Structure 1
């Protein structure tokens, strides 16, 4: 890790420790799964979710653009049960997002700059669903979960498909591990995420 990465990590940790309880909760997802395929129609109906906004990198594909087996079938199964989809990615590589979009037959926007609300709210508007009926699904707390929670959407954190990450994400992963430990401790105690 270079000095810039270490400085960024220290600032993030300092701000995390300073956070109030409310600010900590905004970093917690409403649910956690190992991968997208574990998200079932039963779970979505139970939580009144009618649409999913999906991240791309390390959520639907790895950084080498490989999509795990069964992903296309999972999307089709949920679509057949009335679930709507939209892809919102922070990558600036339009061709990458477009490739995933075409394979899954899902609309998209890229270079969304999550956790800013703009890209997520645009997707929600196009999905024509209330925020509470939309779930944001992704592998990162500081982009997907934080962005979704800021938009008052249901948030689902999944584990990254692969260990390979871009440098900025690598810097944030240790902090995310710390937050996940607190999250799982709270869940195991029966804590409410609302």
Structure 2
């Protein structure tokens, strides 16, 4: 269960304040690449900008936690007005712990949103929070991620085999 998804959404815009409230979630830790935007892009799709505004309006705490370098993460996060942690070493959960403390919530009130099972989902599982997985927004540009995607396929399939749905 460390890697198999527990929730899968078509994209971040399908995660609603109502869903989060039903789970007692008041804060989200967000991945960037292929979660909020295409891999390595600094452009935020309009629908994701609207979703972020909706989350803020609903009082949901938001922090970006990325394995990316500062030069990739900082400009993106600052453009959105979000707190951020870079080079977070996911799947290690230490950055999630730091983000939780910054947002001032209890662990059970936080979830991780991301697209990679071996980074985002595993980090959430190791920290003991829900992993809200999204279908990647675009193609992967790094060879390492392309390789991980091949390994992830069986874990995605386990989710659907046990009756999981894309929300």
TM-score (norm 1): 0.80
Q: Could you tell me which runs of 5 or more consecutive residues in structure 1 were left unpaired when the two chains were aligned.
A: 1-24, 190-194
TM-score (norm 2): 0.93
How far did residue 165 of structure 1 move? 2.9
Aligned positions of 1:27-106 closer than 5 A: 27-62=3-38, 63-92=40-69, 94-106=70-82
Q: Point out which structure has higher relative CO (alpha carbons under 8 A, 6+ apart).
A: 2
Moved beyond 6 Å, runs of 4+: none
Deviation per CA, 1:168-192: give whole Å up to 9, x if none: 1111101111110111111359xxx
1:109 to 70, 85, 92: 85
SS at match of 1:122: helix
Deviation per CA, 1:109-151: give whole Å up to 9, x if none: 1000100111111101111111111010000000000001110
Q: CA RMSD in A?
A: 1.4
Q: Which has the larger displacement, 28-37 or 51-60?
A: 28-37
SS at match of 2:33: coil
Deviation per CA, 1:44-77: give whole Å up to 9, x if none: 1111110000001111121233322221111111
Tell me the number of residue pairs that the alignment of Structure 1 and Structure 2 aligns: 164
SS at match of 1:164: coil
Contact 1:133 1:154 in 2 (8 A): no
Answer with 1 or 2: which has the greater Rg.
1
1:180 matched residue in structure 2: 156
